[in-house]
Structure 1
Amino acid sequence: MDPLVITPEILQAIRGGLRTEFEDVFSGIEPVWDRIATEVPSTTSGNNYGWLADVPDVREWIGERQIRELDEHAYRINNRLFESTVAVKRTSIEDGDLGSYTVRTRQIADKAAKHPDKLVFEAVKAGFTSRCFDGQNFFDTDHPVGPDGKEESVSNFQNGAGEAWYLLDTTAPLKPFIFQNRSPVEFDSLDGISNGSMPEHVFMKDQYVFGTRHRSNAGYGYWQLAFASKAPLTAANLKAARDAMQAYKSHSGETLGVMPNTLMVGIGNQSAAKELIGAAKINDAYNEFKDAFELIVAPQLN
């Protein structure tokens, strides 16, 4: 069989076919990140979140307004640039052998669609050593709470030596974690024959290039909406985490009304978690946590 003559029309058809395969897989992926993180759009190189520390309480209006200036530069999430690329051999196009590239394109689509999950769960795992808006690690024992000069240390971390588990309140407008989206995933190509010329890459490497590009990152919202523990996942430790979250107050001393609704675990804690929120009794005693929390088992945490 004579080799296929590669024309702009042939390349356009291949590009369209691969894009269809990509979009078919990409649109079918159900993410996990949006259950624990809020998507925040970005229009520059990054967003400043200093205002998280200074959102004032609602107060009765007596006299003039009490204006609190917001620090816009205390906490910033910078966007990162990501790509994934596949090279299609020119000889494969000539020989009509594109099956393997279709599979690879679908694999790229799967990974691109799940990449926000990867970013958000990386932020979750890094929360023990990464700063949030108040200058402390997101999961820490000494978040400063209270009026200036009279702060007290408040903890959203229970120490231990085991696999971490997390109790979250995901009901607020801004969830505990942030997925910052600068530009969505694009699937495009560096190809072909244009005006009788051949791109240098095709000439030098004898291949056509297809790939994705997007800009995004993940970070932290309010630490008060997340509690992490490395202690064993027991009813007593879960109760301590829940009670601590429900007791959180604002800088002015008002109860925040945090009500955790989600228990998130990795693979190692999934059996304990399912028993805690699924059993009517534990050791013949009433289990107050039956159906109390939505369960997320996230292998990305391991």
Structure 2
Amino acid sequence: MGVNTPSDFPYHIVNAARTTFNKEFREGQIDETWKSLCTEVPSTKSKEVYAMLGATPKMREWIDERLPKLIKEYGFEILNKKYEASIAITEEAIEDDQTGQIMLAIRDLANEARRFPGERAMEVLVGGVSAECYDGQYFFDTDHSEGASGTQSNDLTLELTSDNLATVRATMLRYKDDKGKPMGIVGDTLIVPPELEKTSLELIGATEIARYVASGTDSAPTINVHRGKYTVIVNPFITDVDSWYFACCNRPTKPLIYQTRRAPRFITLGGTGSVSDDWFNSGVIKMGVDARFNIGYGNWRYCIACVPTS
């Protein structure tokens, strides 16, 4: 049986690491419920420009000839960004690793590559109170207006209660297109911080909801009209513990756009059969993952922010 020499280490460890990374990236148990908020769009260049087409014409009785209507366009671009995470492994760490810690670190790297876009998605969503979307307004704003829509708001200050959830649902259902016609958008998802997980699960799971009168005493409970209607996404990257979001994720158009230019890839410096300068000079292998993507805003009508005032 042959004996590994120092120059063999890079080759063998890199092969094992690549196999481990790819397997964990495919099979790792990572929460990706955030993807339901996003329209996934493949990108082919440094940035993509979205026309953000206006309202689709409503059906009408066909009399004589068709009446095509021009669709208004709003220019909006999303610039791709590069992201990376890298580690350096010494020769001594390779020699002394008797418990598989290096491969555990590689598995963590693979899981981080899948987890990170979800963090960015939540940062973008929460940041919508001060970031512009296609219509030139903040994504969450009180005075959106397009064509004949009138002024509309998706920036509310309501706490998460049964009555307020009904109000938010009705608000979304009433949103109009740029022709002044209701779009009938039915919300189906609650996005909450961990502090509101219990409240949100009770709202969609309880058979009955307690009612309160002005004196603060309980009155007879009523049937919970929200039971089973919504999916709950609990995310720790919602930093305001009282804020919650209501979204429609059941249509082709989503609140966010997940634009992917290059999927996560595992790369190494050295270790492909020849001794790299890093390995020769300092006995170090460098490995990492990188990706190129960005997340931007879709149609504001598909998400409502509820940020209670203090």
Q: Same fold (TM over 0.5)?
A: yes
**Number of residue equivalences:** 221
**Matching residue of 1:202:** none
Residue matched to 2:163: 236
Unaligned runs of 5+ in 2: 211-220, 240-310
Provide the identity percentage: 29
Name the residue aligned to 1:138. 139
* Alignment check: 8 A CA contact 1:127 1:138 kept: yes
Matched with 2:155 is 157
In 2, Cα distance between the equivalents of 1:270 and 1:66? Answer: 45
Aligned to 2:287: none
1-structure distance, mates of 2:66, 2:37 = 40
Letter in 1 for 2:139: F
The aligned runs of 1:1-302 (5 Å cut-off) are 4-7=4-7, 10-27=9-26, 28-30=28-30, 31-49=32-50, 51-58=51-58, 62=65, 65-68=68-71, 70-71=73-74, 74-93=75-94, 95=95, 97=97, 99-147=100-148, 152-159=150-157, 231-283=158-210, 284-302=221-239
TM-score (norm 1): 0.67
What residue identity is the alignment partner of 1:141?
A: T
SS of structure 1 residue aligned to 2:204: helix
5+ residue gaps in structure 1? 160-230
1:117-139 per-position Cα deviation (integer Å, ceiling 9, x unaligned):
11111111111111111111111
Match of 1:186 in 2: none
Pairwise CA RMSD of aligned residues? 2.3
1:255 and 1:33 map into 2 onto residues whose CA distance is 27
Q: Confirm or deny: 8 A CA contact 1:47 1:76 kept in the other structure.
A: yes
Task: Give the drift of 1:270.
Answer: 1.2
CA gap 1:122/1:17 in 2 versus in 1, 3 angstroms: same
Give the direction of change, closer, same or farther, for the CA distance of 1:113–1:63 in structure 2 (3 Å limit): closer
Deviations 1:162-192 (A, max 9, x none): xxxxxxxxxxxxxxxxxxxxxxxxxxxxxxx
Give the conservation status (yes or no) of the 8 Å contact 2:172–2:186.
yes
Tell me the distance in 1 between the aligned counterparts of 2:189 and 2:67: 41
* TM norm structure 2: 0.65
Report deviation, 1:96.
Answer: 5.3
1:65/1:108 CA distance change after superposition, 3 Å:
same
Task: Report 1 or 2 for greater relative contact order, CA contacts < 8 Å, sequence distance ≥ 6.
Answer: 2
Q: Given that residues 55 and 177 in structure 2 are in contact (C-alpha distance below 8 angstroms), is that contact kept between their aligned partners in structure 1?
A: no
Deviation at 1:10, TM superposition (A): 4.2
